[in-house]
């Protein structure tokens, strides 16, 4: 392992993380709901009565961010190198996996770990492990 110090951005990572934590705290303390993005999107698709409006509003908030950002500054880089077949396969895996596993980076990784849930710790270790392993296989074994 070598650390890429030139790419290391500790301040924006911590500040961005703090904003994510703040958003999760607000949704919990005010709305009484968990800020789990896959749960929110899955809930919209399932149209549960009385639970769709807040979920749509949250998702619209996410969608609106780049437009608002552009009013003040240039967007930070969003570099997507994967080709279309990989993106489609990855999207299907993420969609199925997060619903089968009841959560993603936000629901298990941020909210679940913040409430010290052993279930979310197991989920987080599983998806992080699979993420590390997948990148290792793709970049170092297949050399893509």
**Span 84-143, contacts to other proteins by CB under 8 A:** 84, 86-106, 108-119, 122-124, 126-136, 138-140
Residue 71 binds to other proteins (criterion: CB under 8 A): no
Would you say 105 and 82 are in contact if contact means Cβ atoms under 8 Å apart?
no
- How many CB atoms within 10 Å of residue 109? 19
Q: What's the closest the beta carbon of residue 128 comes to other proteins, in angstroms?
A: 7
Residue nearer to other proteins on the CB measure, 49 or 63: 63
**Total residues binding other proteins (CB under 8 A):** 113
H or E, element range at 42 = helix 37-46
Binder of other proteins out of 67, 74, 142, 143 (CB under 8 A): 67
Binder of other proteins out of 71, 72, 74, 79 (CB under 8 A): 79
Q: What's the closest the beta carbon of residue 104 comes to other proteins, in angstroms?
A: 5
Pairwise CA distance, residues 39 & 52, whole Å: 11
- How many CB atoms within 10 Å of residue 71? 6
Residue 48 binds to other proteins (criterion: CB under 8 A): no
Q: What's the closest the beta carbon of residue 116 comes to other proteins, in angstroms?
A: 8
CA–CA–CA angle 41, 29, 114 (5° rounding): 75
DSSP one-letter code for 77: P
């Amino acid at each position: 392992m070598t650390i890429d110090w030139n790419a290391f951005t500790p301040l924006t990572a911590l500040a961005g993380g703090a904003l994510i934590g703040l958003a999760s705290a607000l949704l919990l303390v005010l709305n009484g709901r968990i800020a789990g993005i896959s749960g929110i999107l899955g809930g919209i698709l399932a149209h549960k009565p009385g639970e769709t409006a807040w979920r749509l509003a949250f998702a619209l908030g996410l969608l609106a961010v780049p437009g608002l950002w552009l009013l003040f500054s240039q967007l930070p880089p969003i570099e997507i190198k994967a080709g279309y077949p990989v993106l489609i396969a990855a999207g299907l895996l993420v969609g199925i996996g997060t619903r089968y596993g009841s959560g993603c980076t936000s629901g298990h990784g941020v909210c679940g770990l913040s409430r010290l849930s052993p279930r979310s710790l197991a989920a987080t270790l599983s998806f992080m492990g699979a993420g590390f392993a997948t990148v290792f296989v793709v970049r170092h074994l297949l050399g893509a």
